[in-house]
Amino acid sequence: MANSKSLMLFSGRGYPDLAAEVADHLGITVTPEDAYEFANGEIFVRYKESARGSDAFVIQSCGEGINTWVMETLIMIDALKRASAKRISVVLPFYPYARQDKKHRGREPISARLIADLLKTAGAHRLMCVDLHTDQIQGFFDGPVDHLMAAPLLTDYILKQYGADHLTVVSPDSGRVRTAERWADRLGGTPLAFIHKTRDPLKPNQVVANRVVGEVGGRTCIIVDDMIDTGGTIASATRAVVEAGAKQVIVAATHGVLSDPAAERLSNCGLTEVVLTNTLPIPQNHRFPKLTVLSIAPMLARAIHEVFEDGSVTSLFES
């Protein structure tokens, strides 16, 4: 790769395996560092190689222990800024606090905006994310934002495994219909359905699914979402679709947060398969037989290469 000596990759401790896989696709190595916590929990980071004048890419997956990884990311950025890196791009496959992107009631924070402000203050010049919870988060960061999409990876897998006939794309709620429409287009113009549900704003992660709107009887239904946390929404939607006569139900999502009791819920709700990407680490105790995990690393590597070469990231997703 031209000018490869100035492209440097730095990994947070949130998911070093993903960073190593991205580095492998780029044909480089992750820059070695010392990173640890003092007895009182303070995080320390020091890079073992000079970053002066480099095009630095910091990869961090903010999974379980999210607040630790957010703070570590800010410290890593600050260290690179003080080490005279020429440009600092932060790669957050899963954007932390993305669900807090607006005020639902008075006296609430907009934490997704706060994260963007913190990244900018620390010294980040550019942000790269995969499937933000809402598109408006792109406007929170004062700088270029590369919004990558996992849909091509996921839809290619769905078509290869299940074919294009008798598919219906299902949105688990009315707020995800736009995402479902994009999926339907990629799958060749399949029919759409959605779950009409209610949610108690005072009780997070608790959903009551009501009725299915759309034709699902006798069809292979693809329930799509950006993330699966406790699995309540997906399990409830799956049961509703099965009761409406679906032939089989496949769940596809980008981010596998999989907080307990997600694995148990998804294993026992009647679905055929759950397809996720590895934007977040999924420990063995959160995995289950019906789970398939696809690697996002090749796409991240291509996007990093385009940014480094001043190419077009958008071209990666244009058919």
What's the confidence (pLDDT) of residue 205? 65
How many beta carbons lie within 10 A of that of residue 146, not counting itself?
19
- Between 256 and 318, the higher pLDDT residue: 256
pLDDT in tens, 265-298: 999 999 999 999 999 999 999 999 999 999 999 9
Under the banding of pLDDT at 50, 70 and 90, the label for residue 238 is: very high
Question: Which band of pLDDT confidence, cut at 50, 70 and 90, is reported for residue 200?
Answer: low
Dihedral, CA of residue 35, residue 17, residue 257 and residue 56, to nearest 10: 60
Choosing from 5, 103, 160, 197, which is the catalytic residue? Answer: 197
Report the distance separating Cα 143 and Cα 307, nearest Å: 14
The CATH code for residues 151-294 is 3.40.50.2020
Give the separation between CA 104 and CA 308, rounded to whole angstroms: 39
Neighbours of 101 (CB within 10 A): 18
Domain ranges (residues) in the chain: 4-149+297-317, 151-294
Is 5 considered catalytic here?
A: no
Euclidean distance between CA atoms 59 and 49, whole angstroms: 17
* pLDDT tens digit sequence for 118-158: 999 999 999 999 999 999 999 999 999 999 999 999 999 99
pLDDT at 3 over 60: no
∠ Cα 211 212 213 (to 5°): 115
**Cis status, amide bond into 283, omega within 30 of 0:** no
Q: Give the pLDDT band of residue 2 (cuts 50, 70, 90).
A: very low
Quote the CA–CA distance of 109 and 107 in Å, as a whole number: 7
So what's the pLDDT on residue 319? 53
Domain 4-149+297-317, architecture per CATH: 3-Layer(aba) Sandwich (3.40)
CA-angle at 294, arms to 87 and 71, nearest 5°: 40
Angle at 123 between CA 117 and CA 128, to 5 degrees: 70
Task: Find where tokens 């900018």 sit.
Answer: 120
Q: Which residues touch 231 (CB under 8 Å, ≥6 apart)?
A: 258, 261, 262, 263, 265, 266, 269
Same fold, 4-149+297-317 and 151-294: yes
What average pLDDT does the segment 106-129 reach? Answer: 98
DSSP state letter for 64: S
